[in-house]
Copies of this chain bind each other. A is one copy, B any other.
Amino acid sequence: MAAELTAHDLIAKHRPTLDQALEAIRTRAYWSPHPEHPKAYGENGSLDAAAGKAAFDALTGTRLDLGQPGTDDWVGDEVSPYGVELGVTYPHADIDTLLPAMKAGQRAWRDAGAETRAVVCLEILKRISDRTHEFAHAVMHTSGQAFMMAFQAGGPHAQDRGLEAVAYAYAEQVRTPETADWNKPQGKRDPLALTKRFTAVPRGIALVIGCNTFPTWNGYPGLFASLATGNAVLVKPHPRAVLPLALTVQVARQVLAEAGFDPNLVALAAERPGEGIAKTLAVRPEIRIIDYTGSTTFGDWLETNARQAQVYTEKAGVNTVVVDSTANYKGMLANLAFSLSLYSGQMCTTPQNLLIPRDGIRTDEGPKSYDEVVADLARSVDGLLGDDARANALLGAIVNPDVKARLEAAASLGEVALASREVSNADFPGAVVRTPVMVKLDGAKQDDEAAYMSECFGPVSFAVAVDSAADAIELLRRTIRDKGAMTVGAYTTDEEVEQAVQEVCLEEAAQLSLNLTGGVYVNQTAAFSDFHGSGGNPAANAALTDGAFVANRFRMVEVRREA
């Protein structure tokens, strides 16, 4: 088949972006080729707000035919957390037909080489970027994120993470040259001379197991890291968040076909309600790589059972903020209030335990007692979310009934410092929107430990009274070591406390944000600069993105012969 997109043209188009991405991961300065502003879209082939909305609307109630081999049924019953039935159905695969079909195109994809694979991935990301407005609605109506967050986190930020993975994958593969001449001197005799050829070979088929809350943001790193290293990729979305990944698969298949590759290198595995297909797929011998975001239980199951695969997991953790002292009390309160509210705390990076000395803290506004800090923070959250429109824009919707149940149960765990309230949503009356709850617990009470030492995913935080900064730091260490943490925050003006918190984070391998009082929040990381997770504590066995995330997705095979 004649390719509509030649490697030559794709390299000319995308190599400068790839080079910028390679430079960004080296300097870790700010960079992104994907605009964050909704108004930046609408030209050069990208969909503007209205066109994106129309494209999304046109998808609802349709069958998304991806043209996959082995389709034996049509499945899908997504209901938006905003109360709307999406009515989209997706191909259900006969795995025994689909998996062999996915392998058929791997040799050509392998032989295309690292650069061509990278620019094909960049073309996929570019097409997705052009449809950011459409994807934003798909992410919003599966994750429950508010529109602007769905737009940014589900659009440009997810695309950044995908591009970052491509850059790491490319860099890793080209560390070894394609060929080498090896000449070993032998004194007066002729040198020993070999020519060597090195080929990056894929592991096999990679499985991406998507999550409900960040289908694209958490899905793209594994998807693009595996594809860029030559593997075929099977995408198994969360049953409640199929659409964003199904559209992603659709775009990938289109681009692969246009570039002359087999579209079956990327495929979707949608499932029937309760089918639990991930467990079946994960142990298939063809599956050699798994990327997973979700519960610790299933993550641990994958690590234990999917022994034929390289398994990359992001699981549950308990994120801590140590509150010791601050030179900007208002800024601290505002920053924390935002962090606790954003997307109703439904982020793996949202702080859960705020460790506050029971004797209070030092601030630029004078000493504040434990109760004052908690009350002031509760007031800050109330203030932030006092206006319903603003509350809706920040909170989004509760993603599923489990989160709602945890939120409701939290009030019984201790004294409620900040009660959750229902917020009505004028645009989507069916949306379940709730402000966060904050509960006071005591770090010295054995009874409270079960609560603060478990992840309570959702808009629930605990103001844990501790004896001292030193006590907070020891609890921080124990929490990271036993439960894991995607993020740690700390507020302190005390050099010794700062050093001690840093030392715990270095020893237990957790990412630390210090004294954030402005417009950057502990729960947000930027691709090309921040690592998401460390891969060194129980919350995740991999970090987004580093060399370890890509280096074992391919192997380097050498063929040597005499020169």
Residues of A at the B interface (CB closer than 8 Å) are: 25-30, 107, 110, 172, 175-177, 180-186, 192, 194, 196, 198-199, 201, 203, 303-304, 307, 502-503, 505-507, 509-520, 526, 529-531, 534-536, 543, 546-548, 551-552, 555-562
Interface centre among A26, A534, A560, by most chain B C-beta atoms within 10 angstroms, is A560
Partner of A557, one of B184, B196, B511: B511
Instruction: Supply 7 further A-B pairs (C-beta < 8 A) apart from A505-B559, A511-B558.
Output: A28-B177, A180-B529, A199-B506, A201-B507, A514-B561, A535-B552, A546-B556
Residues of B within 8 A of A548 (CB): 548, 551-552
Residues of B within 8 A of A199 (CB): 506
12 A-B interface contacts by CB (under 8 A): A28-B180, A175-B546, A175-B547, A196-B529, A201-B536, A304-B307, A509-B557, A511-B558, A514-B561, A531-B558, A547-B551, A548-B551
Partner of A506, one of B110, B172, B182, B519: B110
A545 smallest CB distance to B (angstroms): 11
A271 smallest CB distance to B (angstroms): 29
Residues of B within 8 A of A557 (CB): 505-506, 509-512, 534, 536
Asked if A513 contacts B304 (CB within 8 A), the reply is: no
Asked if A562 contacts B516 (CB within 8 A), the reply is: yes
Name the residue of chain B whose CB is nearest to the CB of A509.
Answer: B555
Asked if A30 contacts B183 (CB within 8 A), the reply is: yes
Partner of A518, one of B192, B514, B551: B192
Asked if A514 contacts B30 (CB within 8 A), the reply is: no
Report how far A192 CA is from B25 CA in the complex, Å: 19
Asked if B560 contacts A514 (CB within 8 A), the reply is: yes
Residues of B within 8 A of A506 (CB): 110, 199, 201, 557
Report how far A303 CA is from B304 CA in the complex, Å: 10
A50 smallest CB distance to B (angstroms): 23
Report how far A217 CA is from B199 CA in the complex, Å: 25
Name the residue of chain B whose CB is nearest to the CB of A171.
Answer: B175
A64 smallest CB distance to B (angstroms): 33
A225 smallest CB distance to B (angstroms): 13
Interface centre among A177, A183, A517, A529, by most chain B C-beta atoms within 10 angstroms, is A529
Partner of A551, one of B192, B203, B529, B551: B551
Asked if A28 contacts B513 (CB within 8 A), the reply is: no
Given known contacts A176-B546, A536-B201, A548-B552, A182 and B30 CB-to-CB distance under 8 angstroms: yes
Given known contacts A506-B557, A551-B551, A177 and B514 CB-to-CB distance under 8 angstroms: no
Residues of B within 8 A of A198 (CB): 28
Closest 4 CB pairs of A and B: A536-B555, A548-B551, A28-B180, A547-B551
Asked if A180 contacts B518 (CB within 8 A), the reply is: no
A287 smallest CB distance to B (angstroms): 15
Given known contacts A26-B177, A28-B177, A551-B548, A513 and B307 CB-to-CB distance under 8 angstroms: no
